[in-house]
Amino acid sequence: DVKVTQSSRYLVKRTGEKVFLECVQDMDHENMFWYRQDPGLGLRLIYFSYDVKMKEKGDIPEGYSVSREKKERFSLILESASTNQTSMYLCASSLPPGWAQPQHFGDGTRLSIL
Amino acid sequence: RKEVEQDPGPFNVPEGATVAFNCTYSNSASQSFFWYRQDCRKEPKLLMSVYSSGNEDGRFTAQLNRASQYISLLIRDSKLSDSATYLCVVTYNQGGKLIFGQGTELSVKP
């Protein structure tokens, strides 16, 4: 079974802090994704990566950056956290090609920015 | 217009009922289709892929209508454990992103 592990289930940070969300997958998947999920808005793609050191902007990349130094790890960075970034963050991974393969999700991180 | 649209529900049905969800998509170049299930405060999990010829997995049947650009999910003999939000997912070969619908909430009552 694919295991996608997110570093924290719940996280509380303050406005202006730099926040790191970590995601690790154990199935040697090339593709990794970061989403946020908000009531009424569904899942929205922030960034994704098809390979080590590669990254692509999703639909809402503003205020975020990512890092993929190793194949199994994909980090999401909130450069200067703001209250509108309070959300549920979900990491996912998949085999290539991304358009044909289902994604496997981590448990999610509920992030609150105060 | 949203790329993938679903009736948000909630659908409240008694145990044993048959319930159907529809999902429409706007991009005719869409190539792959999935249904995911998401329980309250949990991550989405793949329920089933949707194939052009339609496919069945136990009590669940998925169908695709490319001409009308919609997919459907039919659940027969509903169980209490089927209560969840069902997400329609579409992809097309432009970067390989999955496009999620907002989900349809199902509540199965005793």
Nearest-neighbour CA in chain A from B48: distance (Å): 9
Asked whether the predicted pLDDT for residue B95 surpasses 70, the reply is no
A43 and B100 within 8 Å at the Cβ level: the answer is yes
For residues A86-111, one letter each, b for 16 or more C-beta atoms within 10 angstroms of the residue's C-beta and e for the rest, the string is: bbbbbbbbbbeebbebbbbbbebbbb
∠ CA B75-B88-A42 to the nearest 5 degrees? 125
The tens digit of pLDDT for each residue in A51-101 reads 998 999 999 999 999 999 999 999 999 999 999 999 999 999 998 887 778
What distance in Å separates the CA atoms of residue B93 and residue A28, rounded to the nearest whole number? 22
Reported as a single tens digit per residue, the pLDDT across B10-19 is 999 999 999 9
Mean pLDDT of chain A: 93
Facing residue for A103 by CB, picked from B93, B98, B101: B98
Handedness of CA B2, B74, B70, A60 (dihedral sign): positive
CB contact under 8 A, B97 and A104: no
Contact across the interface for B103 and A42, Cβ inside 8 Å: yes
- pLDDT at position B93: 67
Instruction: Using pLDDT thresholds of 50, 70 and 90, give the confidence band for residue B28.
Output: confident
